Amino acid sequence: MKQIPLACYSILLLAPFAQAEMAAVDGLHDDFAHAYLPVSGARLNDSVPSDRPIHADLSAFADEAWILPVSSSRLSPGQITPRPLQMPGLQPFFLVGDDSQSLAWLHQHAATLGEMGAAGLAVEVADTEALSRIRAAVPGITILPVNGNDIATHLQIEHYPVLVTATSLEQ
């Protein structure tokens, strides 16, 4: 076993206590402050607890044509071997493409995906019509077009459709 020097242990133990301190800018001339410290007028809402999940409003991105086509070179349609996962707190999500196997899988599992609140990632989509077909298979479920290569690498998968939960990876 490799020995870690005492300095490394000290850094690991003290790291949570190291915090940058905010410095107040008092007594500066207004011209100086305006020139070097831009003021946006926006205020932070400090009353929101930091442990509360933040949900993005995806309705602002109504036109997704700019991101299409999406292609994930490390993923293809096919069968996967189900296996357990240990990812506490992970919200369920699924990966699909615009192929016939994915569309059939979506139709078959639509109710279950909706009940569990799963979100979808379309990892292989040619155009807006293909994305519309995917979304039509599971109405009411958010499906976003994304490149799935990083997810494939981290989860060690090669195929989709696949459902990923905190406790399992299955098809």
Cβ-contact 54, 138 below 8 angstroms = no
Cβ-contact 95, 113 below 8 angstroms = no
**Quick check: is 7 in a domain?**
no
The DSSP output letter for 125 is B
Question: Percentage of the chain surpassing pLDDT 70?
Answer: 63
**Quick check: is 105 in a domain?**
yes
Count of domains in the chain?
Answer: 1
Q: Domain range for residue 72?
A: 65-170
Tell me which H or E stretch contains 129: helix 128-137
CATH code at position 113: 3.40.30
* pLDDT digits 0-9 by tens, 94-131: 999 999 999 999 999 999 999 999 999 999 999 999 99
**Quick check: is 148 in a domain?**
yes
* pLDDT digits 0-9 by tens, 32-72: 444 444 554 444 454 555 555 544 444 455 578 888 999 99
**Quick check: is 162 in a domain?**
yes
The predicted model gives 82-92 an average pLDDT of: 95
DSSP reduced 3-state for 33: helix
Amino acid making up residue 155:
L
**Quick check: is 52 in a domain?**
no
**Quick check: is 37 in a domain?**
no
Helical pair 128-137 and 100-116, crossing angle rounded to 10 deg: 50
Q: Which residues pair with 125 in a beta bridge?
A: 70
The pTM for the full model equals 0.65
**Quick check: is 100 in a domain?**
yes
**Quick check: is 78 in a domain?**
yes
